[in-house]
Amino acid sequence: MTRIAVLVVLALAAGCGGEDRDRWPGTVAYSAEVGPDTGLDLFVRAPGGQARRLTDGAVNEFSPSWAPDGRWLAYRVNPPRGDEGDIWRMRADGSGARNLTRSPGVADWSPAVSPDGRRIAFMSSREGAHELWVMDAGGGNARRLTRAEELSEYPSWSPDGSWLAFGANRAGDFEIARIAAEGGEETNLTAHPGRDQWPAVSPDGKRIAFMSDRDGGEDVFVMRADGTGVRNVTRSAERFESHPTWAADGRLTYYQHSEGPVHVRVDPLDGTGGHTLPIDGAFVFDWTP
């Protein structure tokens, strides 16, 4: 079976000038498999350009997060099998790759570079439970944020860097929560028996997008930053929509796939409509700020 993935752009904010810029809201970094027996590699594609492969190894390299200046990105590296992994960073041209965590036998996942480029939030099992941590952008001074002794993953920074939204598995129930960047008490933003995961804070900090199966399928939802006003923006029972990410201009992007070719129709949310960007095998991705 062939899985076809497409990147869907919803116009939640005013578009940008120029036809190509309207379709491509920046340079995208994403991971993809180039063959049935290969791992995940990282690619970048600028508006009007071709996909450029950054990595080509036997390990999986994925989950990219751009620095605010677009000159480098953080990403996850792990073996083809197993949960252990490290957080790496490299320049935007693929050079200068280096391991920031160097934690053998530990799962270090889901890096998120802070808006000022000075910190990286990530998930780590280095003290047993899979909790949120923050370290300097160069890899030092790692400190633990959450202390739930349960899974906390996929952090997303507020635009001012003062708090993060993240996925929280508490007693088997996946919810979206937030916590101050310095740590402390976490606050649940969702409270639903469905699986709520992969939050993404909007560029203005007013909204959070996330994936949920609360309506039966796996759809993308948007809510206010305080957890109110939840709404389903995809409503597709036949297809899988997930990993929402905001472009710098306020447009919401996510990937959508099913078995076999997919024809995507996106309902307009602000009257301007949306469109699809075909990126074969696209997995977790991020746009330049």
Please tell me the predicted confidence (pLDDT) of residue 191. Answer: 93
* Structure-token pair, residue 48: 């009007």
| DSSP three-state, residue 20 | helix
User: CB of 133 within 8 A of CB of 124?
Assistant: yes
DSSP 83-142: S-BEEEEEETTS-S-EES---TT-BEEEEEE-TTSSEEEEEEEEESEEEEEEEETTS---
CA distance 243 to 16: 23
Question: What residues are paired with 152 via a beta bridge?
Answer: 168
Please tell me the predicted confidence (pLDDT) of residue 278. Answer: 67
Position of tokens 């996510």? 254
User: CB of 144 within 8 A of CB of 133?
Assistant: yes
Over its length of 289 residues, how does the chain's per-residue pLDDT go in tens digits?
Answer: 334 444 555 544 433 444 455 677 789 899 888 776 678 899 998 887 888 999 988 899 999 999 999 999 999 999 877 789 999 999 999 999 999 999 999 999 999 999 999 999 999 999 999 999 999 999 999 999 999 999 999 999 999 999 999 999 988 899 999 999 999 999 999 999 889 999 999 999 999 999 999 988 889 999 999 999 999 988 876 678 888 889 888 888 887 776 643 333 333 356 455 777 766 666 678 989 8
Please tell me the predicted confidence (pLDDT) of residue 262. Answer: 35
CB atoms within 10 A of CB 104: 7
Q: Percent helix, strand and coil across the chain, each rounded to 5? A: 0, 50, 50
Please tell me the predicted confidence (pLDDT) of residue 253. Answer: 85
* Structure-token pair, residue 116: 């000022």
User: CB of 9 within 8 A of CB of 253?
Assistant: yes
Please, how many CA atoms are within 13 Å of residue 5, restricted to the half-sphere of its CB?
19
Give me the torsion for CA of 144, 145, 150, 155, rounded to 10°: -110
